[in-house]
Amino acid sequence: MENSRIIIIGAGSWGTALAVSLHQSGKKVTLWGRRPEMVVELCTSRYSAYLPGVFLPVDMAISSAYGDISIADIILWAVPVQQSQILLEQLKEYIPSSAPIIVCSKGLVLETQQPLSGLFKKSLLNPIGVLSGPNFADEVAKNLPAASTLAFENLDLAKNLACHLRHKAFRVYAHHDVIGVEMAGALKNVAAIAAGIVMGRELGHNCLAMLITRANAEICRLASALGAFPDTGKTLAGIGDLMLTCSSVKSRNTSLGFALAKGQSLEDILKARSNVTEGVATAKVAFDLAKSHKIHAPIISAMYSILYEGQSIDDTVHSILSSQQQQELE
């Protein structure tokens, strides 16, 4: 894999950050964007509005040509989850059948109630994996130390790709639990909205620690019901990503919860954003999955009530704090 050609599909903040990081480590990388006019702007200015303060190297390839996808050895998919199905239909005939596809987007597909890897498995025969971990895009692009979990059902393939993608500023650990890693990455976005509400309502550090801990229990219960391994919750993709996302308003989902807590409407918050906040759509899918699998998930239910049923934040907080389980571990 020494000279493998890596195509990163999706020129948003995370895709761009991965491209910059891997390029700076000496990998053969092309950042692929679906909008030709945006790609022209990136090539000219070497600046991305999605990633302020980060310079795109002048010798890093940026493209919107379908032909560049057809010569890829490894594909990293960083397109927002709810926009992926349409783009995959357009691109699948150009994707080499031998190229492993690594899903880097976090969320659950509204129509299918599945992680994004399921969409690829229905359309392609390629090996499908997922990369997820506690990674803020700007820090990865600036080569600050970071790490992630890379999961493929074929663990040997995961190990080989992890060795190829890692470098001194970005550690990559191999795993076999694709569904667990993907569910953890999706569901933590719902918890992050709750964390933002805790911050915005100034409920304190004790409350935030309580939220993160209980959210991790919910995520593990729901992921396990869908076939995930329980220990995946202990990984970088599990508790690591949850801790990072719920601890800073740099997270799009946490900042959304913070803004809600300060009185802004969901419609106004989303209208003002260029980046996609995946936790909003994921909250609906997670609520439906928890209900259908009879999983106790009060935090997920609370976020669904606030985002989709218009329940007030104060009433929701009061309801959660008023309920009490008899024992912590079940």
Q: Say yes or no: 66 and 193 in one domain.
A: no
Q: Say yes or no: 197 and 304 in one domain.
A: yes
Q: Which amino acid is at 193?
A: I
Asked if the structure places residue 328 within a domain, the reply is no
Q: Say yes or no: 55 and 171 in one domain.
A: yes
The catalytic residue among 27, 106, 142, 188 is 188
Domain edge (last residue) among 155, 176, 197: 176
Q: What's 116's domain CATH number?
A: 3.40.50.720
pLDDT at 327 (0 to 100)? 64
Q: Say yes or no: 151 and 272 in one domain.
A: no
Asked if the structure places residue 162 within a domain, the reply is yes
Residue 111: phi and psi, rounded to 5, are: -70, -35
pLDDT at 274 (0 to 100)? 82
Q: Say yes or no: 127 and 57 in one domain.
A: yes
User: How much is the mean pLDDT over the chain?
Assistant: 95
Domain edge (last residue) among 127, 153, 176: 176
- Which residue range forms the structural domain that includes residue 247? 187-322
Q: What's 290's domain CATH number?
A: 1.10.1040.10
pLDDT at 328 (0 to 100)? 66
pLDDT at 45 (0 to 100)? 96
Ranges under pLDDT 70 in the chain: 1, 324-330
| CB within 8 Å of 72: residues ≥ 6 apart | 5, 6, 7, 30, 95, 96, 99
Q: Say yes or no: 214 and 312 in one domain.
A: yes
Q: What is the pTM of this model?
A: 0.94
Catalytic residue list contains 188: yes
Q: Say yes or no: 161 and 223 in one domain.
A: no
Asked if the structure places residue 330 within a domain, the reply is no
pLDDT at 329 (0 to 100)? 62
The number of folded domains in the chain is 2
